[in-house]
Amino acid sequence: MFICPECKSKMNLPQCLCGYNVTQINNVWQLTDTPDMVTGGNGDKYIGYEHIGESYSGDRKCIIEASDAFFAKEVSKLTGDGIFLDLGCGDGCFAVPCAAYGTRIIAGDISNSMLRILQEKANYNNISLDKVTLCRMNALEIPLEDESIDTVVANSVLHLISNPEKVVREIYRVLKKGGIFICKDDAPGKTNETPFDNSLYFEIVNAMYSEYWNELNSLGIYPKKYSWKFDRNSFCEKLFESKNVHIIEYSKVYDVPLRSGFFARFENRGFSDQAEVPREMHASVLSRVVNKMSALYGENFLDISCKVFEDDITITTYKK
Ligand SMILES: C[S@@+](CC[C@H](N)C(=O)[O-])C[C@H]1O[C@@H](n2cnc3c(N)ncnc32)[C@H](O)[C@@H]1O
Ligand SMILES: [Zn+2]
């Protein structure tokens, strides 16, 4: 059901009839040799998270968040006995809880380090990956046969790719007739109505962020916002046969600690606008920012957290 990276014909892993052998690195089939990230040139661009890896979820990297487990349950139900492709699966926030239901999964990402964290998450939670095929793949050229997949999720991925239309056409191609592209969106609103006072938390985050970038700007380094706009809904409505939307009431209260949340990621240059900040410059600017924050908000300023309502979840499915 795979496509050979060499001769582009159908193949089963690991060896193609043309003689090409797909290698595995840390259990991950290497189905592409395209770079981890492409930010220049005339071709399609994308931001893989190889350089973010560990700092993506900080010390929560092995935790299965309740709302992700919730969504994973829906995906498993919709997939049934079929095959689920988690495209740009990252650290496995959906693939891992989905695997707990015994769902057959192809977990694809351009980043080997994210796929390594996915395996750590599964081990930590004692979830078997027996039915999960881990693949380093490029969403712009999915190495799967036409009409071979039952469900696809590509969550928080399309905005990282300069040609999201091409990715969605690829998703459509690999889906079986009747297969579905499942999208998860927040149903915003509740967060704004929060009865909790988070003003100090946001004041600190904003102060830290602007101090950091003001100093970097004076050194000639600017945040890179790699995020491409895409009207997924109008594109998918034209491409797919039908669409269905349902909202899952969720609205749970949860805590977002500054230290292990925003700060852990910020400290490790884990936000994509930090992708091109030189490592040493980052370290020295950040340490000055932290000192300034301590002077302003007290030494324990990182112990603050933010209390919010998690928004309801909208699940939109597009059927081929
Ligand atoms: C923001 S993370 C989202 C991870 C996960 N789907 C989630 O919802 O949390 C984006 C992921 O897309 C991957 N990615 C970016 N460009 C890609 C591409 N061209 N092909 C495959 N994966 C890509 C990154 O490596 C990263 O792991
Ligand atoms: Zn081949």
- In this predicted structure, what is the pLDDT of residue 195? 74
Q: What is the pLDDT along the chain (320 residues), one digit of tens a residue?
A: 999 999 999 999 999 999 999 999 999 999 999 999 998 899 999 989 998 777 777 777 899 988 899 899 999 999 999 999 999 999 999 999 999 999 999 999 999 999 999 999 999 999 999 999 999 999 999 999 999 999 999 999 998 899 999 999 999 999 999 999 999 987 655 555 667 888 999 999 999 999 999 999 999 998 877 667 889 999 999 999 999 998 887 777 778 889 988 898 899 888 878 877 898 999 999 999 999 999 999 999 999 998 877 778 889 999 99
Cα of 58 from ligand 2 centre, angstroms: 39
Top mutation candidate among 110, 158, 159, 273 for ligand 1, by most atoms within 8 Å of CB: 110
73 touches 97 (CB < 8 A): yes
Q: In which residue are the tokens 């496509």 written? A: 3
Q: Measured at the alpha carbon of residue 67, what is the angle toward residues 64 and 69, in degrees to the nearest 5?
A: 50
Q: Which atom of ligand 1 is nearest the CA belonging to 86? A: 6
Cα of 316 from ligand 1 centre, angstroms: 19
Assess whether the previous peptide bond of 257 is cis (omega < 30° from 0).
no
Give the sign of the dihedral formed by CA 164, CA 89, CA 183, CA 131.
Answer: positive
141 touches 170 (CB < 8 A): yes
Domain covering 2-187+227-251+311-319: architecture: 3-Layer(aba) Sandwich (3.40)
- In this predicted structure, what is the pLDDT of residue 153? 98
Top mutation candidate among 71, 105, 160, 273 for ligand 1, by most atoms within 8 Å of CB: 160
Q: Report the SS3 class of residue 30.
A: strand
Convert 33-57 into a string of H (helix), E (strand) and C (coil).
Answer: CCCCEECCCCCCCEECCCCCHHHHC
- Say which ligand is closest to the CA of 85: 1
Separation between Cα atoms, residue 68 and residue 312, nearest integer Å: 12
- In this predicted structure, what is the pLDDT of residue 258? 92
Cα of 42 from ligand 1 centre, angstroms: 21
Cα of 180 from ligand 2 centre, angstroms: 29
- Say which ligand is closest to the CA of 52: 1
Domain positions in the chain? 2-187+227-251+311-319, 192-224+254-306
239 touches 314 (CB < 8 A): no
Contacts of 203 by beta carbon, 8 Å cutoff, 6+ apart: none
Helix ranges restricted to H, 178-270: 199-218, 232-239, 264-267
- In this predicted structure, what is the pLDDT of residue 260? 84
The residue type at 150: D
Cα of 48 from ligand 1 centre, angstroms: 6
As given in the structure block, the two tokens for residue 187 are 């149903």
Start-to-end Cα distance in the chain: 19
Query: Which protein residue's CA is at the shortest distance from atom 27 of ligand 1?
Result: 90
Separation between Cα atoms, residue 46 and residue 30, nearest integer Å: 18
- In this predicted structure, what is the pLDDT of residue 311? 75
Query: Which protein residue's CA is at the shortest distance from atom 14 of ligand 1?
Result: 48
Separation between Cα atoms, residue 174 and residue 152, nearest integer Å: 9
Top mutation candidate among 86, 157, 174, 228 for ligand 1, by most atoms within 8 Å of CB: 157
